Structure 1
Amino acid sequence: MSGYRSRGVVTFSETDASGRFHYTAALKWAENAEHEIYRAAGVPIVRFPRRVVNATFERPFVDGDEYVVELHVEKLGNTSITYGWRILSGDEVAVTGSHTVIHLGESARPAPLPEKLRDTLQRIAPASTGVGQPAGSHC
């Protein structure tokens, strides 16, 4: 998968009473990878509320497990971005998902994506989306 990769370690606070990670942790990990891209592009993080979120859980994580988030652009619109992602436990896919965000302008209404963000996203988009060219594992 072309795109952006982010690594992390499951913290105790991300687990539930069963000792396994709480499902919301995976959504936060994907969101954190997305925010790393925004910071690298120099755009404010606060202007991208979620419109759609989807996740499928295949394998559990426990406190101390390492994970890798692979995030890629599925669709790049004028005011929206759809990200696809998967979270790996070693070589095994533990979670797959996607989410769509809308860029809001100063008036809190949908606004065109900033050009510097669009340029960054085009570098990490898989060629098959028609969005841009593959860019390895970072932005």
Structure 2
Amino acid sequence: MSFRTRRLVEFRDTDAAGIVHFSAFFPWMESAEHEMLRSLGIKVLPDSHDDPSVTWPRVSVGCDYANAARFEDWLEIEVSVVKIGRSSIRYEVAFSRQDKGGGIVPVAKGTTVVVCCRLRPGGGLEKAMIPDEIRAKLESV
């Protein structure tokens, strides 16, 4: 199972040739991940009184590119939870678009690894095990 969303390529996302700049994919991956978490009822940045008070800093990101996307293309974005460890999660994010004939064209595939961290009073992070209720929600994706 996976979470799906869409994104319109804006002019600011493109280079001088009108093709999506490679760097645009990283904020889109994060945004899609956050949409997925919110859809599951998981806060991206909890309030200090929330229990569990955890957040998800990135420890690894990457993206491989297959085909160009251009200004005003609609991108289909699919987020999959591919591995849940004791304290880390690995996501795969697939980008695609339709060609003029209606076929699906793969555009890029990214990966993100995040680590569960507790927010310390006064700031700072401490690595933590993924709480059971959050793990159960992520396993449903």
Which TM-score bucket, shorter chain as reference? 0.7 to 0.9
Question: What is the match of residue 48 of structure 2?
Answer: none
Q: Report the more deviating stretch, 110-119 or 15-24.
A: 110-119
Instruction: Name whichever structure is richer in strand by fraction.
Output: 2
Alignment TM-score, normalising by the size of structure 1: 0.81
* 8 Å CA contact 1:67, 1:89 repeated in 2: yes
- The offset of 1:17, in angstroms, is 1.9
Letter of the structure 2 residue corresponding to residue 117 of structure 1? I
Structure of larger gyration radius:
2
Q: Where does structure 1 differ by over 6 angstroms across 4 or more consecutive aligned residues?
A: none
Unaligned runs of 5+ in 1: 125-139
User: Does 2:138 align with 1:121?
Assistant: yes
Question: Which residue is 1:9 aligned to?
Answer: 8
1:104 equivalent in structure 2: 117
* Aligned residue type for 2:76: V
CA distance in 2, matches of 1:12, 1:95: 19
The TM-score normalised by the length of structure 2 is 0.80
Using the TM superposition, name which of 29-38 and 42-51 deviates more: 42-51
Distance 2:131 2:106 in 1: 32
What per-residue deviation string (whole Å, max 9, x for no partner) do you get for residues 58-82 of structure 1? 1111110001111111110121100
RMSD over aligned Cα, in angstroms? 1.4
The answer on whether the counterparts of 1:41 and 1:116 sit within 8 Å (CA) in structure 2 is no
Aligned residues: 123
| Rounded Cα–Cα distance in structure 1 between residues aligned with 2:62 and 2:70 | 22
The residue identity in structure 2 corresponding to 1:13 is R
Identity %: 28
